[in-house]
Copies of this chain bind each other. A is one copy, B any other.
């Protein structure tokens, strides 16, 4: 790694890149290679590859225990888990979600011919603003999906009050929030249910995967039916459904990664502390903080570039990419500016000013077990030089 002291040392100004290989925001964390291959061999020997096998059942139990919740229903990915939870709750017509979220939150609705209605977010927390949710309720609204963005706290009680007043369910897209708590209680215990993602780029992965956590026995049973085509027994289909099954090999990856989860969180936490120390003095750059009184997974390093910063957000990203640091604009430009939603609601930006502002300001930086203090100091020195050298 080169040392970056001044703008002259930057790749964007002609120097060689800081890193030979690209640094991804979400490079997969992988637990014990040896243990995974051992479990993979067991699966082949048992000839049980899918369909609620022993690995999946063990994985579900461990994830449920980890979150202190009654049910974990494992799925092939987080998006199909969202689709199944949405259908199991009987949502239809319109459902209120934030626009500042990964596109899957909106797509899981529109895939099933349900209309996502975008409510604005709080400018500081990046999560649904309850007052904005109230403004978007119509007679066709059948539910609210809160998104636990960056795994941070969201106004659960206020959202639940709105849902209760209108007698509609509240569920959570908790794709970012594996292993996090809210007011001392683990996520998975709020609303009707909460949906997890174990995608490769999440700090905890099962290659691809997802799950729904819930304390509602009946809802869990319905979702178990739905992920296996509604089959009850060998022949009898008693419910609409799809194929949402997690494979045994995906569950094996989950079991192995669960064994290393404390180390993964600790690596993320140390990376976060290093970023915090290094970015603290930089004007116009705000690192989103984690609440130390809660359990966090520290998996996202989110910085916001304000107007006080001498460099623009996109200039910083361009400069980092030149160093082979693949910093990302999550979730720019907001779902409401993406197809098919921008065609559906051409003027929705007018009621989403905070979403637009946050989407224009955010940068995600690399973290995870393959990132360390030296790497972070090089990344932050590049950011310092980029902001010092900007017009």
A residues lining the B interface (CB < 8 Å): 27-28, 30, 33, 36-37, 40-41, 44-45, 47-51, 76-80, 83, 87, 103-104, 107-108, 110-113, 199-201, 205, 207-208, 229-231, 234-243, 245, 247-250, 253, 328-329, 332-333, 335, 338-340, 370
Contacts and interface: CB of A to CB of B under 8 A. Distances in A.
Nearest to A102: B229
A21 to B, nearest CB: 10
A243 B49 contact: no
Contacts of A87: 111
A33 B33 CA distance: 17
B103 A229 contact: yes
B49 A41 contact: no
Contact of A36 (B44, B205, B250, B329): B44
Total identical chains: 2
A264 to B, nearest CB: 14
A230 B102 CA distance: 12
10 contacts: A28-B49, A40-B40, A47-B370, A76-B76, A77-B245, A112-B112, A230-B339, A234-B329, A235-B333, A237-B339
A332 B78 CA distance: 32
Contact of A245 (B49, B107, B108, B208): B208
Contacts of A110: 240
Contacts of A108: 242
Nearest to A239: B339
A87 B112 CA distance: 11
A156 to B, nearest CB: 26
A101 to B, nearest CB: 12
Contacts of A199: 50
A54 B230 CA distance: 34
A178 B28 CA distance: 33
Nearest to A41: B37
Nearest to A232: B339
A77 B76 contact: yes
Nearest to A337: B237
A235 B107 contact: no
B50 A247 contact: no
B47 A28 contact: yes
A187 B48 CA distance: 29
Contacts of A231: 103
A189 B253 CA distance: 37
Contact of A230 (B27, B28, B36, B107): B107
Contacts of A243: 77-80, 104, 208
B107 A340 contact: no
Contact of A242 (B107, B201, B230): B107
Given A230-B103, A248-B207, A44 B50 contact: no
Contact of A329 (B83, B208, B235, B248): B235
Contact of A229 (B48, B51, B104): B104
B30 A240 contact: no
Contacts of A112: 111-113
Given A40-B37, A230-B339, A49 B79 contact: no
Nearest to A207: B247
The 3 closest A-B pairs by CB, nearest first: A237-B338, A79-B243, A113-B113
